[in-house]
Amino acid sequence: MLEMDYTLEGSVYNRIAAIRAERGLERSTVADAVGISPQQLGYIEHKRIVPSLELALRLSAYLMVPMEQLFGLQPFPSPEHERTFKLL
C-alpha cells in the first residue's frame, strides 16, 4: 500500500521562477494572468503551497510549458547542470 504524505510544503517541485526569469516576466505579471496574487505565486515558487490542478494548468498554459516540465515530484536539475550535461 502506498503511504500518503499529507504535508503540502515541499511535496511538489516546480520551475516557475526559473522560467519567469528566462522570459523576463515579473511575478506580478504571471500572477495577474492566472488570477492569483503575487504573494500566492511566491508561495508556490518556494514550495510553501501546492497549486490546485486548475491553477497548475493555468500556469502551464500561460507559460506555454508542458505540465511535466513545469511541475514534478523530484527536484529539477539546476540550469548549470543542464548546460554541463549538454556540453558532454
- pLDDT band for 80, please (50, 70, 90 cuts): low
Residue 11 pLDDT class (50, 70, 90 cuts): confident
Instruction: Please count the structural domains in the chain.
Output: 1
pTM: predicted TM-score of the whole model, two decimal places: 0.77
**Complete DSSP assignment for 53-66:** HHHHHHHHHHHT--
According to DSSP, residue 36 is labeled S
7 inside domain: no
The string of DSSP codes covering 5-34 is: ----TTSSEE-HHHHHHHHT--HHHHHHHH
Has residue 8 been placed in a domain? no
For the residues 21-42, what does the mean pLDDT come to?
97
pLDDT at 79: 65
Report the C-alpha gap between 59 and 66 in whole angstroms: 10
d(CA 19, CA 25): 8
Full domain range(s) for residue 54: 13-87
Q: Is residue 67 assigned to a domain?
A: yes
Residue 75 domain-assigned? yes
Q: What is the CATH number of the domain that holds 68?
A: 1.10.260.40
